Structure 1
Amino acid sequence: MGLLDSLKSTFTSTGEASVPPAASFATREGVIYAPVNGVLVNLNEVPDETIASGMLGQGYGIEPITGTIYAPANGRIGATTVTNHSIGMITEDGLRVFIHVGLGTVEMNGKGFARFVEMGDVVKAGQPLISFDREAIKAAGHEDIVTVIVSELDRLKSIDHVGESGTLIGGNPLVKLGDPLLVAKTK
């Protein structure tokens, strides 16, 4: 491995984890699906002021019960982070989706995270994007809540929250990978 390859792998590391198998679920235009299994919480209940205020967009928090994030729609990866704790994508129909794992997890410098895609990759709904070690996140003193946010709301005619109809756990609905969360219509 040459110096350039070594530097590239340092700054674009996808981690050490093996790629989980893809999930399969039907998709429709304008729908963002749950990227992980867990308990759904309203965005305003996420204990982060910027996220809870809706400043970044609309969506949900999910208290995960598994440690892999899958593509919530067909699209293209628009942004990745060196620390592998968040990812941005643009769906085939132009929705901008931001997925963030945990609160304060940027401080972990990528420990406990692995990314399976690169910026510019075309992905299908259900394709693994990121894995994370829930116990490592908690041991580092952070929450492992996953946020799924649709941004650039000024480009949308409407956005409907449809993810609140699952089995209730402690008053909040349980969502499965591939359950519909948001339905957006562009202008």
Structure 2
Amino acid sequence: MGLIDTIKRSLFSSGGEAGAPKPAVFHVDDDMVYAPVTGAVVSLGEVHDEAISSGFFGEGCGILPSVGIVYAPVTGRISVTAVTNHVIGMTLPGGVEVLIHVGIDTVRMEGKGFTRFVEANDEVAAGTPLIVFDRDRIAAAGYEDVVTVAITNSDSLRSVKNVSSSGTLIGGRPLVKVGDPLLQVER
């Protein structure tokens, strides 16, 4: 068994629900949204979806994932799920609304390649596994697997700032890991 197989096995060993990855553990502040996936950060304008890149869903950013696991970027309530398992909405106790969207046009996959571990109205802690997605299956279907994180009620907030930074850059973009600060919300 190689290193990658060992890492995958440790990530996917049971920690509750069969097949669910272990929770990620990281420090949280009330005014911060953390990276839900590991990967390179891109601006919304670089996301190849007109509704997302135009800011229709609010302010935020995209992450080009290196692993197909989405964790809760905040502590809050699951407000929205989709039967296709590629979208999760969360509401923080102060009312901030976070949307996590996996892929471009992946709704057309009808849930194939996606596994969701939460339901609407579940209360979750930051770091709770939300979705596992098959990056290879998304690519084989001809879609992109960019993960978008948007604050859907950003127009009612003072500001939303992308605060992702890293000493490691990929193509000039910061590499973030799950739990790194991503968006700072000022109410």
The TM-score, its normalising length taken from structure 2, stands at 0.88
Matching residue of 1:7: none
Unaligned 5+ runs, structure 2 = 1-16
Q: CA deviation at 1:185?
A: 1.6
Contact 2:42 2:64 in 1 (8 A): yes
Q: CA deviation at 1:154?
A: 2.5
Counterpart of 2:92 in structure 1: which amino acid?
Answer: T
What CA distance in whole angstroms lies between the structure 2 residues aligned with 1:86 and 1:150? 14
The structure in which a higher percent of residues are strand is 1
What CA distance in whole angstroms lies between the structure 2 residues aligned with 1:145 and 1:101? 6
What CA distance in whole angstroms lies between the structure 2 residues aligned with 1:17 and 1:87? 20
What CA distance in whole angstroms lies between the structure 1 residues aligned with 2:186 and 2:175? 25
> Residues 1-187 of structure 1 correspond to what in structure 2 (within 5 A)?
18-186=19-187
Spell out, residue by residue over 1:50-73, the C-alpha distance to the aligned partner (whole angstroms, 9 max, x if none).
111112101111000001100000
Contact 1:36 1:69 in 2 (8 A): yes
Q: CA deviation at 1:91?
A: 1.4
Contact 1:17 1:114 in 2 (8 A): no
Q: CA deviation at 1:17?
A: 7.1
The TM-score, its normalising length taken from structure 1, stands at 0.88
Contact 2:58 2:155 in 1 (8 A): no
| Greater than 4 Å deviation, 4+ residue runs | none
Range moving further from structure 2, 90-99 or 121-130: 90-99
What CA distance in whole angstroms lies between the structure 1 residues aligned with 2:150 and 2:50? 14
Q: CA deviation at 1:34?
A: 0.1
